[in-house]
Amino acid sequence: MESRKTFRDWQPHEYARRPITPTDVLPEDDLVFFLLDLVPKMNLSAIYEYYDRETRGAPPFDVAMMSTLLLYAYCVGVFSSRKIAAACERNLAFLAIVGNQRPDFRTISEFRRIHLDALADLFVEVLRVAGEAGMIKLGNLAVDGSKFRANASRHKAMSYGYMRKEVARLRQEMTDLLQQAEQIDAEQDAALGARRGDELPEELKRREDRLALIEEAMRRLEQEARERAEAERQEREQAQAERAAQGKPPRGKPAKPISDEPADRAQTNFTDPEAKIMKTANKGFDYCFNGQTVVDEEHQIILAAENVPAANDKQQAVPLAEATLANLEAAGIELPREESRPDADAAKIPLSGDNGYFSEEAVGGLEGLGFDPYLATGRQKHHTAEALAVEGAPPAEATVKERMSHKLRTAEGRKRYAKRKSIVEPVFGQIKHVRGFRQCLLRGLHKVRAEWKLVCLTHNLLKIWRYRYALI
């Protein structure tokens, strides 16, 4: 049946008869033109120096082009080298970067592998640009973390209890194989007067390699168990000292002795041994890394980005604060000065975090570094009334936890902590759900940390781009 509706004329072959350039189609303020202008001005000397030393082979692709290509790809959520290479052939924005010089996926992957650390170091360069644009105020910071799945299969893991059984089985099989080899040698010597012996040694080598792999994994679990036991002993001693200072007697039954041995259910992964099993939202447990950020309130610029193999955040507050100060100094961003603010406490940088970051050591460490911490001391239960507001200073005999709890109930504390979610949590939403980075592509803690910095610096690039063109 013939349609009565009139449609626009469609002639797809018309494109073959006229040239199309990115500048004809893309808007002037497109992200790709912003990066083409910005990235070549960054300090890429560390990458250029590599090619000064490497004189073999054909001339490489231009460093600024490859750097711009990777940064643009990460900005728009294209992380796979194969997908980047495909986009260089059919996507106008990618064509605006590479022109007729289109690298294949191996070249892109190799460039990222070789220069991953140098690309991650551009985090400070981007921070400097944000500072020069006036996008970093240090009026209120927030810290938080989110789990990202590791590039590790759950099916390539083994528990400590099963490892012990497997080691015993492999050793018994190796003993049997050696006895079988000796028997075959004796039979061949009697029958042929010569020994062939190609098959059994191969079986023996396969078992020896597997045994070495499992024993190495066992040593990792044993070392982790010792470190965990030592940390637990310190926590118990701290809790006992705190109760003793308050004159409170011990509660409940005596605590069980702390064991230095790993539990039978403790697991490690053979694909990425540095990834750890962590609880994920609505999906049970998986091998993950814990991506950590410190974010400035003004424009949600990430000031520090670290990735750790620990599900618990308690040990991360001080290292993140130290990384923040180091990055700000390297980027040439001045900290608040006491002479510019009459109140001594006002010269400190406010930093808020949820209860996962609270500990006495964290509070003391942050204050010693020049931060004004607002760390929750516990979770507020659902359907319970909010604690009453307080005024004035806490009692002189109050513990660190009681002082922090008092601080968060003051008008200033409530105001600071209420902004935490709106400062830092949208950042993870933009990274995970807008750009689609939910799983690490690389393996090994060192590479995962560099990859996370690359993701975070491109987050900052997007913020700078939007801010710049919002002013036009």
Q: What is the pTM of this model?
A: 0.79
- Count CA within 13 A, CB hemisphere, residue 367: 13
Contact indicator for 120, 304 with CB cutoff of 8 Å: no
pLDDT tier for residue 195 given thresholds of 50, 70 and 90: very low
* Token pair 């099916």 in the structure block, residue: 155
* Token pair 């200073």 in the structure block, residue: 393
What is the per-residue pLDDT for 202? 67
Assign residue 351 a region: left if phi > 0, alpha if psi is -120 to 50, beta otherwise?
Answer: beta
- pLDDT per residue as tens digits for the range 401-455: 889 988 988 888 899 999 999 999 999 999 999 999 999 999 999 999 999 999 9
Contact indicator for 248, 207 with CB cutoff of 8 Å: no
- pLDDT per residue as tens digits for the range 97-113: 998 889 999 999 999 99
The partner residues of 268 in beta bridges, in order of sequence, read 158
Phi, psi angles (nearest 5°) of residue 375: -110, 125
pLDDT tier for residue 278 given thresholds of 50, 70 and 90: confident
Alpha-carbon distance of 453 to 289, in angstroms, equals 13
Cβ-based neighbours of 29, under 8 Å, separated by 6 or more? 469, 472
Alpha-carbon distance of 76 to 91, in angstroms, equals 12
pLDDT tier for residue 41 given thresholds of 50, 70 and 90: very high
pLDDT (mean) for 389-409 = 83
Given a cut of 50, whether residue 341 has pLDDT beyond it is no
- Give the best-scoring range by mean pLDDT among 87-101, 155-169, 453-467: 453-467
> Where along the chain do its domains lie?
12-120, 135-152+272-470, 155-249+256-268
Given a cut of 60, whether residue 226 has pLDDT beyond it is yes
pLDDT (mean) for 309-325 = 92
* DSSP string computed for 399-463: -HHHHHHHHHTSHHHHHHHHTHHHHHHHHHHIIIIIS---B-SS-SHHHHHHHHHHHHHHHHHHH
CA angle 451, 454, 457 (to 5 degrees): 150
What is the per-residue pLDDT for 396? 80
Residue type, 295: V
